[in-house]
Chain A
Amino acid sequence: MSTQQALARQSRWASIRKEAQRSITALLIALVVAFIVVLFTSKTPFEALNIMLTAPISKPRTIGLWIDDVAKLTVTGLAFSLVFQARQFAMGVQGQVYVGALASTYVALSPLGPTYAAIPLGIIAAMLAGGVWGFIPGIAKAKLGANEIVSSLMLNYIAIELCNFLVRVQLYEKPGVLTSTPFPKIAVFPPLFAGTRIDLGLILALVAVLVVWFALYRTAWGLKLRLVGHNAKFAEYSGIKSTVIMVSAMTCAGALGGMLGAMFVQGQTYGKLTVMFEGGLAFEGILVAIVARSRPLAVPVVALFYGYLRQGAQLMNIRTDVPAEVIGVVTAIIILLVSSSFSMPGKTWLTGLFNRRADAAPVAVEGAPK
């Protein structure tokens, strides 16, 4: 019994090591490509690269920006992991962020805003709104077979325009300014470290990681969900209502997306609602989820690395002539490499070269079970 457990643990570590190796290789390839692009285009390529790779940890303020991004990337990564595990390609996190932000804004600017109820109610309202936004494509697919990719993407655009509209006609501070009235101080997440943007959102993100992990790997619902994702037909034959699982997974992911909306507007970064506040972060959850292989516990680790890169690119954008959008190229390359079964050209040859002397022992071990 104990040897079995030990073996299981061993194989788990081996697979983690393998995944990490793949991810780091992909990251390095992507960085090399980005560097080549920067080398040809920037007047000061080495300075640009230096800023991208070192600036985020240079000051407490930039560390705060980085960790704040990590919390947000973790939540969007979790939302995508949840639907990817059920093999649904709902791409609606962006829309859920906007409706969630709207809901929490309405709570924060209501008479409840200046009370202690503002933070919990804001989060709950945001989660409900996001859940509804995730439920719509889910139920449309389950009941009618409507393609969830298209419907969730359409809902993204609708949510963005809705947010723009409400900010302009109702929530504005003064006419012509596309931001809402700042929230009462008590409705804004308290910072965990003074002078940085690290706030309650980080704790929410970590709690979300544990909750999603528990739900996926320690409950019957999670087992069914993973089974549906693995083989929907088999799950259906074994009596699992795959449509119920599908809709509930998309709704839960929607609630996470909504919570991310609350983390944005109630966080230290904004403390108010503005138009287009999300800046494309929601979609980067795809990268986080894919590199983490949709494993909730791996999501924050990946978010830590990717958030660093993202923050570095933004600082590079401010301080040099290289636009931050170069990160889009890096993101795309990482997704392409990690989601495919790529292998380094000549890898077998290289390992053969290094393992030549040590290959006697592995052969003996491999021969043993026969």
Chain B
Amino acid sequence: MTELLVTIFSTAFFVTVIRTSTPLLLATLGGLVADLSGALNVALEGQMLVGCLTAVIVSVYAPWYVAVVAGVGAGALLGLVMAFFALRLKADIILVGFAINIFASGGTVFALSLATGGDKGTSINLVSKAIPPVDLSFLSAIPGIGPFLTAMFSGHSVLSWVAAFLVFAIWYFLYRMPWGLWLRGVGEYPAAPEAAGIPVNTVRTWSLIVSGGLAGLGGAQLAMFNYVGFARDMTGGRGFIALGAVLLGARHPVGAMLAALLFGAFEGLSIVMPGLFADAPAELIRMIPFVVTILALILFSYRAQQALRAKSVAKT
């Protein structure tokens, strides 16, 4: 038990948590943007998966940043497809989302076998690139806390820094820019922006495209930093956990970040635990993030309901 505590409070574990949280955070931010515009994006999982595969395949032939952009583009394209079917053709957005998930789950295996000439399920034979870590070892020059700072902040993926910046950028966009107000208005009460002449469906379309792009970015991080390469269904429910993280984060960018860090921490725990407890069953450890998500969701819903009740009591 002390070993576990020592591990958890080590800088190496912090780095692991940042690594596991980044794809989750990017997908959560994607889910947040769509959710605030009133379009629940349940296709995050599929968009991440397609982002993974696109990034891996492109990275074989192009530099890593091109691959990341391609992953974002693939996710955004799926977001556009969602918007087309859900908003133009009036299909139920949840069904459209699940159609995209089914498409991604089968389509990525299919596309991978085409790209590799028959490999089913993994991209072992593809020489894909990784996203380079950001080297901040010059921080060691600071006397006293220098080595600690290096251990904490050096070696993260470029996309981890991008994700941290995006939390701020999306907060600024949503709460300090007129377009953010439009987006929140469209999600809150579409009739009012409609009457004010704001194109509701255009706003939702863009939010779905951005949402898909962010999920694709998360996929790129997953397939080019957390793991290098693609494996069948490698997102393993992260898109769905992100959906829970949106709700748990009280539909706010900072809350989304905290929720993603929480789930990332438990995923990190499930990574370090097999090394500490050799006899702990791997299946039960893999279960941890899902159990935590469902418990957090239930607890949070309970708290939210209590708060709502307290508010309505105070009013009367």
Q: Chain A: residues with CB nearer than 8 A to chain B?
A: 37, 41, 89, 91, 140, 144-147, 149-151, 153-155, 157-158, 161-162, 164-165, 168-169, 280, 283-284, 286-287, 290, 321, 323, 325-329, 331-333, 335-336, 339-342
Contact = CB atoms under 8 A, between A and B. Distances in A.
B100, B109, B243, B298: most-surrounded residue (chain A CB, <10 A): B298
Contact of B109 (A168, A286, A325): A325
Contacts of B94: 89, 149
Given A147-B247, A321-B118, A333-B103, 15 more contacts: A37-B110, A144-B305, A145-B301, A146-B300, A150-B244, A158-B291, A165-B284, A168-B283, A284-B102, A286-B102, A332-B106, A332-B107, A336-B96, A339-B85, A340-B86
B99 A332 contact: yes
Interface of B: 40, 42, 85-86, 89-92, 94-96, 98-100, 102-103, 105-107, 109-110, 113-114, 118, 120, 236-237, 240-241, 243-244, 247, 281, 283-284, 286-287, 290-291, 293-294, 297-298, 300-302, 304-305
B106 A91 contact: no
16 contacts: A144-B301, A149-B40, A150-B243, A151-B294, A153-B237, A164-B283, A283-B102, A323-B120, A325-B105, A328-B107, A331-B106, A332-B106, A335-B96, A336-B85, A340-B86, A341-B89
A201 to B, nearest CB: 24
A154 B42 CA distance: 13
B110 A323 contact: yes
A169 B90 CA distance: 49
A149 B105 CA distance: 18
Nearest to A145: B301
A339 B298 contact: no
Given A145-B305, A150-B244, A323-B113, A341 B90 contact: yes
B105 A169 contact: no
Contacts of B297: 140, 146-147, 150-151, 154
B283 A339 contact: no
A118 B293 CA distance: 36
A336 B99 contact: yes
A100 to B, nearest CB: 18
Contacts of B247: 147, 150
A329 B100 CA distance: 9
B287 A161 contact: yes
A325 B92 CA distance: 25
Among A161, A164, A329, the most chain B Cβ lie within 10 Å of the Cβ of A161
B99 A335 contact: yes
A335 B291 CA distance: 30
A164 B282 CA distance: 10
A339 B92 contact: yes
A5 B152 CA distance: 76
Given A153-B237, A154-B293, A335 B89 contact: no
Contacts of A342: 89
A332 B281 contact: no
**Secondary structure dominating the interface of A:** helix
A157 B110 contact: no
Interface of B is mostly: helix
A280 B98 CA distance: 13
B109 A323 contact: yes
A158 B285 CA distance: 11
Contacts of A339: 85, 91-92, 95-96, 99
Contact of B98 (A91, A147, A158, A326): A91
A144 B306 CA distance: 9
Nearest to B294: A154
B91 A144 contact: no
Given A155-B294, A340-B89, A161 B284 contact: yes
Contacts of A153: 237, 240, 243
Given A150-B240, A158-B291, A144 B298 contact: yes
A225 B128 CA distance: 52
A239 B241 CA distance: 36
A287 B305 CA distance: 34
Contacts of B90: 340-341
A280 B301 CA distance: 30
A35 to B, nearest CB: 14
Contact of B91 (A158, A286, A329, A340): A340
Q: Which 4 A-B pairs have the closest CB atoms?
A: A328-B106, A332-B103, A340-B89, A340-B91
For A89, A158, A323, which residue has the most chain B Cβ atoms within 10 angstroms? Answer: A323
A142 to B, nearest CB: 11
A246 B304 CA distance: 21
A86 to B, nearest CB: 14
A230 B287 CA distance: 36
Contacts of B113: 323, 325
A157 B289 CA distance: 10
Contacts of B95: 286, 290, 335, 339
> Which of A149, A168, A327 gathers the greatest number of chain B CB atoms within 10 Å?
A149
Contacts of B99: 331-333, 335-336, 339
Contact of B283 (A145, A165, A329): A165
Contacts of B103: 328-329, 331-333
Given A158-B290, A169-B281, A146 B243 contact: no
A37 B244 CA distance: 35
Nearest to A275: B283
B85 to A, nearest CB: 5
A306 to B, nearest CB: 13
Contacts of A286: 95, 98, 102
A37 B111 CA distance: 10
Contacts of B281: 165, 168-169
B109 A145 contact: no
Contacts of A161: 283-284, 286-287, 290
Nearest to B306: A144
A140 B301 contact: yes
A148 B91 CA distance: 20
A76 to B, nearest CB: 13
B130 to A, nearest CB: 26
A65 B249 CA distance: 47
A179 B300 CA distance: 39
Given A151-B297, A161-B286, A340-B91, A335 B98 contact: yes
